[in-house]
Amino acid sequence: MKVIYNLSTILLIVVFLTACNGKSSQETKEADSDSALTISEMNDVAGPVDYYLTSDSIGPVHLGEKISDLPVAVANLYDNMLVTETPDAVAYSFLLSDIPQFTVYDFLDGNVDLIILEGNSRGVETPEGVLRVGDEFTKLLALPGATAEWQSLDDSGIWYWRYNSLFFGVEETNISEQLAEALCDSHNPPRASLFTADVKIGYIATGLPF
């Protein structure tokens, strides 16, 4: 369990925000080998028109579930899957009509350990509407129960936010220098005034706790 904990921490810092340690999420997604699973001749699992990420699942894909037990396809959620292997994890990218929907990470234990939304095809239900990647970050900050949490790794760290046990991160593109510095300052979370309308949600995920 200790090994899984460390791998999840490293992955979330690298994938979530890179300004503080100079790493890129590409490190975790570069393939040693990629493969597409063809499922055209298999039956879909019926589902609702839309699915939302929750604290433990998206549709029938649940945290802790064995990868081998996942449906090969789910109507309105995914119809194809790409597999990317790295030394520390296996990433399963789920697509619908060739559009990425979400990625599952297996930290070499054969289970669903982390679920990350890809793009804005999927979102999170809230009392104020659906939150998606690309939405203004202030929409998250306005929700009761949204809290900032500091996560450190070695000499670097980053602020992220929790809402209903989900992880949210800032999209780094075009943020101010002041906000970039504040995200890496362990003493206090960034001031609300730094979150202007052009600061967006760049990361939404659920999975192993820190």
Q: Per-residue pLDDT tens for 13-48?
A: 444 444 565 544 444 444 443 444 433 334 456 667
Alpha-carbon gap, residue 138 to 129, rounded angstroms: 13
Q: What is the pTM of this model?
A: 0.80
pLDDT tens per residue, range 157-190: 899 999 999 999 999 988 999 999 999 999 999 9
For residue 21, the model assigns a pLDDT of 55
pLDDT of residue 25: 42
Mean pLDDT for all residues in the chain: 83
